[in-house]
Chains A and B, each alone.
Chain A
Amino acid sequence: EVQLVESGGGLVQPGGSLRLSCAASGFTFSSYWMMWVRQAPGQGLEWVANIKEDGSLKYYLDSVKGRFTISRDDAKNSLYLQIDSLRVEDTAVYYCVRDSGSQYDVLDIWGQGTMVTVSS
């Protein structure tokens, strides 16, 4: 079964750090762009970051640049999001997403999400 399973969320104080992980299974992880998308409580979806198949290209939402780092370990079939200098406004469910597209984004596989709560 093709699936993505996130972990690593939790409650953290402002200024703290977390490392989110996403374990991929059922497909050749190294062949796909991957993405993180977040959703604040009761709010809409927000794209956070992308990483190319080989890790050579990464893109970030402006508000997370310098604080978030997306990475991958193809040997472990895993995607990561290192989140530093956390802010209250980073509170959200974070989804790991597979992009199956070439010319277009085809976000066809989503994890169940992991909740990050930033609060003192």
Chain B
Amino acid sequence: AIQMTQSPSSLSASVGDRVTITCRASQGIRNDLGWYQQKPGKAPKLLIFAASSLKSGVPSRFSGSGSGTDFTLTISSLQPEDFATYYCLQDYNYPRTFGQGTKVEIK
């Protein structure tokens, strides 16, 4: 199974900060990667698919990049509603595998 390793596992940031989360795959996965946001007690929400395609309705401060084994999720200016846990998911092959998550907390 492809392992997805996110870093950092958690981070503290302030409103307005630029935040970058990385996801590394244990083998090349082209651009077959999505990013999801989850708030406590809620179901995850899709932010980005195909590594860099923003889901309709998701604020443009979210962006994704990368291909092969290294991917990033960037929040250009952190907003109060962005404090959450973020997961990457590879859809290159089965079994699908998620990263372990990155918790974004308020500094």
Interface residues of A (CB under 8 A from B): 37, 44-47, 50, 59-62, 95, 101, 103-108, 110-113
A104–B94 touching, CB < 8 Å: no
- B interface, by DSSP: helix, strand, loop or mixed? loop
Q: Which of A46, A101, A104, A107 contacts B36 (CB 8 A)?
A: A107
A93's nearest neighbour on chain B, judged by CB, is: B43
B contact residues around A110 at 8 Å (CB)? 43-45
- Decide: A106 and B34 in contact? CB cutoff 8 A: yes
Known: A105-B96, A107-B34. A113 touches B87 (CB 8 A): no
Binding site for A on B (CB under 8 A): 1, 32, 34, 36, 38, 43-46, 49-50, 53, 55, 87, 89, 91, 94-101
Interface centre among B49, B55, B87, by most chain A C-beta atoms within 10 angstroms, is B49
**A-B pairs with beta carbons under 8 Å apart, 15 shown:** A44-B87, A44-B99, A45-B36, A45-B87, A45-B89, A47-B89, A50-B96, A60-B95, A62-B1, A95-B43, A104-B32, A104-B50, A106-B55, A107-B46, A113-B43
Distance, CA A39 to CA B87, complexed state (A): 12
Query: Chain A residues with Cβ under 8 A from B98's Cβ?
Result: 44-47
A60, A105, A108, most chain B CB atoms within 10 A: A105
Residues in B whose Cβ lies below 8 Å from that of A111: 43
**Are A108 and B95 neighbours in the complex by a CB distance under 8 Å?**
no
Please, which residue of chain A has its CB at the minimum distance from the CB of B45?
A110
| Residues from chain B with Cβ under 8 Å of A46 in the complex | 98
B45 CB → nearest A CB, Å: 7
Q: Which of B94, B96, B97 has the most CB of A within 10 A?
A: B96
Of A44, A62, A112, which one neighbours B95 at CB under 8 angstroms? A62
In the assembled complex, how far is the CB of residue A60 from the closest CB belonging to chain B, in whole angstroms? 8
In the complex, chain B residues whose CB is within 8 Å of the CB of A60: 95
